[in-house]
Amino acid sequence: MNRRRFWQNGRVNTDAVTLRLADVSDADTIAQMSRDLIESGLGWRYRTDRVRRMITRRDTSALVACDRHGTVGFAVMQFDDEHAHLMLLAVRPSHQRQGVARQMMQWQLHSARVAGMVSVHLELRASNRAALHFYRALGFAQTLVLAGYYEQRESAIRMMCLLRAPDEQAPPDDWLTSLRRR
């Protein structure tokens, strides 16, 4: 694999970004990136301790995207019985529009399908038009606008991606077990 790194139009391009499950050692980096890239202008809710607890929960899939210099993105999704909720997703500006977020979302959506989820839900700032277009391209549809959702300062758009019909059978448990053994 070619692991060259070069600059183009003021952005870092690299084919050496890898995805892996986050561990507790990633909590501080995820928390800082959340503060700077997601929660900017709002109160900092996803601090290191909270992120660490999320990472260690069995019902959470926390993913990081890394290049040879460190973490360039992350995605955190929580699962309940039939629905998943994308809690956090961010990519450093130097790596945006290079497919990193798409790769992380494909991983998370695949995980949700394998886990038998009916749908995936998320919220984003109403002012974040790029994110709105990104999620729409992945098959998400707007379901609701929540006025003042972010600390009574900014509205949110709630979106959903239907993975299977609610009455459709989820994958059999033995199929899920075989995937976990790999």
Taking the CA atoms of the chain, what radius of gyration do you get in angstroms? 17
Q: Is 135 a catalytic residue?
A: yes
Structure tokens at 26: 């990633």
Catalytic residue among 39, 46, 82, 135: 135
- 3-state secondary structure string, 115-155? CCCCEEEEEEECCCHHHHHHHHHCCCEEEEEEEEEECCCEE
Catalytic residue among 123, 149, 150, 168: 123
For residue 172, count CB atoms less than 10 angstroms from its CB and return exposed for 0-12, middle for 13-18, buried for 19 or more.
Answer: exposed
Q: Is 123 a catalytic residue?
A: yes
CA distance 91 to 101: 7
- Any idea which residues carry the catalytic annotation? 123, 135
